[in-house]
Structure 1
Amino acid sequence: MGAAVPVELKLLLVAVVIGFVQIVWTAAASSGGERNLAWLAGPRDDQKPVGVVAARLDRALRNFLETFPLFAAALIGCIFAQKLGPQTLYGSGLYVIARALYVPLYASGVAVVRTLVWTVSAVGIVMVIVAFFR
């Protein structure tokens, strides 16, 4: 048997799953209204309006796509530098849990709590970065 997989690496893969779910959820929410199958299968040159929830999901996905590479790079750096420990574990956990909560909060239109949850995810990234430099 191989070496045990670090929990942080498992959390990284959970974050990938969260991102994949966001992509599917956003696509499903954005496919209604004037967006018929012919338009969805085509080049989508002409913009079609989307509903409020679909627009929120798209913004949440864009936000994930901005933060996830930073989290992944910081965590992979810590793994290669053998800097894993409580700080990377808690930082990774904060990031993943906050990102899982962020999407439904954003889709529901919960403003202040959503921003606080985003801040928690950012703190998680910072914790991982700081662990690398220790």
Structure 2
Amino acid sequence: MELKLLLGAVIIGLVQIVWAATAGSGGQRDFGWLTGPRDDARPVSGVAARLDRALKNFLETFPLFAAALIACIIAGKLGTLTLYGASLYVIARALYVPLYASGVALVRTLVWTVSVIGIVMVMVAFFR
């Protein structure tokens, strides 16, 4: 189940990449710029900027989650903590993006905290 959750997190990451890229298209980020080398930075604002920041946040936390979970899998430390920790991470990350895109501040921060608690639970499982 933990491997399925890891792949679920990968799917969330892929969706975020596509969502952030498509939200940032149009205006100054036309098709030519999007398909080119992107040598000149073209900023986005509003929802597109929030989706970009949410993606950057995912890219900060996902490697930690993946490393912790893979370490537990290799060490044979799977159990209740890894299952619930991985579930918390994946569910919270899935909720985080639409909350961030909608501009919901406090709840978004609480959901992010839940995702970090999930990572910590997986790490604790490794050291048990």
Same fold (TM over 0.5): yes
- 2:70 maps to 76
- 2:120 maps to 126
Tell me the amino acid that sits aligned with residue 36 of structure 1. D
Residue segments in structure 1 that go unaligned for 5+ positions in a row = 1-6
| Structure exhibiting the larger radius of gyration computed from Cα positions | 1
Partners of 1:56 and 1:75 in 2: CA distance: 28
Partners of 2:43 and 2:73 in 1: CA distance: 43
Tell me the amino acid that sits aligned with residue 117 of structure 1. V
- How much has 1:81 moved relative to structure 2? 0.5
Give identity over the alignment, percent: 78
2:48 to 43, 49, 54: 54
> How many pairs does the alignment contain?
128
Tell me the amino acid that sits aligned with residue 32 of structure 1. G
Partners of 1:72 and 1:63 in 2: CA distance: 15
- 2:87 maps to 93
- The C-alpha deviation readout for 1:69-124, integer Å capped at 9, x for no partner, is 00000000000100000010000000000000000000000000000000000000
- How much has 1:51 moved relative to structure 2? 2.8
- The C-alpha deviation readout for 1:30-70, integer Å capped at 9, x for no partner, is 11212111111222122223131110001000000000000
TM-score, normalised via structure 1 length: 0.93
Residue segments in structure 2 that go unaligned for 5+ positions in a row = none
2:38 is the alignment partner of 1:9: no
Tell me the amino acid that sits aligned with residue 93 of structure 1. S
Give RMSD over aligned pairs: 0.8
More helix by share: 2
